[in-house]
């Protein structure tokens, strides 16, 4: 009988067998998706002075880079997909996305068109956001990745589900 009481006490104290507790407000929330040769990781930072920031990192496969945010929606000469970041559901954007990375012009092999791209490797953007209630949101991204010799299938309005609990 005593061993059953001890086992029940250990289970109660360590939380074994119970539903996980929600992450404390000081813990960042992270979700990611990989599609078309790029891993996109979104991290919602804990609130700071009533402000929140969403960090979104695009990590293309080695040798590839993503197109710039300043690329026109229709591309240049029909080429390229601009990088876009938005939110919907129980998050709202409080400004445009920003990055410390700058674009450079890339001429694809065999073409005369130059496209604005970020340097090879990961590029991180910060988007100021606010919660609008509830606990379900989506980070919505559009992007394309290319190298000097090849372009990967673009993703348009790719949703990354976020549980805000």
Question: By the 8 A CB rule, do 121 and 5 touch?
Answer: no
Query: Which pLDDT does position 25 carry in this prediction?
Result: 56
65 assigned to some structural domain: yes
Taking the whole predicted model, whether its pTM rises above 0.85 is answered as no
5 assigned to some structural domain: no
pLDDT tops 80 at residue 5: no
Number of H helices, E strands in the chain: 1, 12
51-109 pLDDT, tens digit per residue, is: 789 999 999 999 999 999 999 999 888 888 999 999 999 999 999 999 999 999 988 88
47 assigned to some structural domain: yes
Cα–Cα dist 32/5, whole Å: 42
How many residues are given for the chain? Answer: 165
Cα distance from N-terminal residue to C-terminal residue, the chain: 38
76 assigned to some structural domain: yes
6 assigned to some structural domain: no
17-41 pLDDT, tens digit per residue, is: 444 444 455 688 999 999 999 999 9
How many other C-beta atoms lie within 10 A of the C-beta of residue 103? Answer: 20
147-161 pLDDT, tens digit per residue, is: 888 889 999 999 999
Best CA proximity match to 101, nearest among 125, 128, 73, 67: 125
129-144 pLDDT, tens digit per residue, is: 998 888 899 999 999 9
Complete DSSP assignment for 41-89: EEEEPPPBTTBEEEEEEEEEPTT-EEBPTTS-TT-BTTB----EEEEEE
2 assigned to some structural domain: no
93 assigned to some structural domain: yes
138 assigned to some structural domain: yes
Query: Which pLDDT does position 26 carry in this prediction?
Result: 67
Query: Which pLDDT does position 86 carry in this prediction?
Result: 96
Question: By the 8 A CB rule, do 97 and 87 touch?
Answer: no
Query: Which pLDDT does position 66 carry in this prediction?
Result: 96
The CATH number of whichever domain residue 71 belongs to comes to 2.60.40.1250
User: Total structural domains in the chain?
Assistant: 1
**Range(s) of the domain holding residue 99:** 24-163
């Amino acid at each position: 009988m005593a061993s059953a009481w001890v086992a029940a006490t250990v289970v109660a104290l360590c939380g074994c067998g119970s539903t996980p507790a929600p992450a404390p407000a000081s813990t960042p929330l992270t979700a990611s998706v990989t599609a078309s040769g790029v891993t996109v990781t979104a991290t919602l930072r804990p609130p700071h002075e009533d402000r929140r920031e969403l960090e979104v990192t695009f990590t293309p496969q080695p040798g590839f880079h993503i197109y710039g945010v300043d690329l026109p929606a229709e591309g240049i000469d029909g080429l390229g997909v601009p990088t876009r970041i938005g939110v919907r559901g129980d998050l709202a954007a409080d400004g445009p996305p920003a990055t410390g990375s700058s674009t450079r012009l890339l001429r694809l092999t065999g073409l005369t068109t130059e496209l604005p791209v970020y340097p090879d490797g990961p590029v991180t953007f910060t988007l100021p956001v606010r919660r609008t209630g509830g606990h379900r949101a989506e980070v919505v991204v559009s992007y394309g990745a290319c190298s000097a010799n090849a372009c990967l299938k673009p993703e348009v309005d790719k949703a990354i589900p976020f549980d805000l609990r």
